[in-house]
Amino acid sequence: MLDRQIRALTEAGCIRIFADKKSGKNAEREELPSCPACASGIGFTSLHESLDTTTPGGRLVFHVFATLAEFIRELIVQGTNEGLDAARARGARLGRPPTMTDEQVRHARDLLARPENTVASIAKLLGVSRNTIYN
């Protein structure tokens, strides 16, 4: 996708292109400080949406889009949190399922109490990683 965007920018006459591969929710951009467009007075033009922030109408549309995107993101976060709260209220166990059963945990503890057993041998016996035994 980045190749297609770079090609379109080159065809539009861009000489220098700065690219970041970050999610839209991240405000930190690694390339931004090296970009001379950080200076005030620089506009934004979208090639596909015919959006140009150097005009009053373009700035209005840009701000409306930005506000809508922020609103939608907040709705998604709110919906996710409400869903998690509802699942907790139903008593659902959230997160990754446990690797070992309660019986396996008891067995591992019994084996660990004996000094001749190593964590590696217990992990191999139970079919789990050493980190699982340590946890």
pTM passes above 0.75: no
Say if residue 81 is in the same domain as residue 112: no
87 and 106 inside one domain:
no
| CA dist., res. 103 & res. 126, Å (int) | 11
Within a domain: 47 = no
87, 97 contact by CB (below 8 A): no
Beta strands in the chain (DSSP E): 45-46, 51-52
In a domain, 71, yes or no: yes
Specify the pLDDT at position 113.
Answer: 92
* Residue 30's pLDDT band (cuts 50, 70, 90): confident
Over residues 35-46, the pLDDT tens digits come to 776 676 778 888
- Residue pLDDT, tens place only, 81-119: 999 999 999 999 899 888 899 999 999 999 999 989 999
Cα 87 from Cα 81, distance rounded (Å): 10
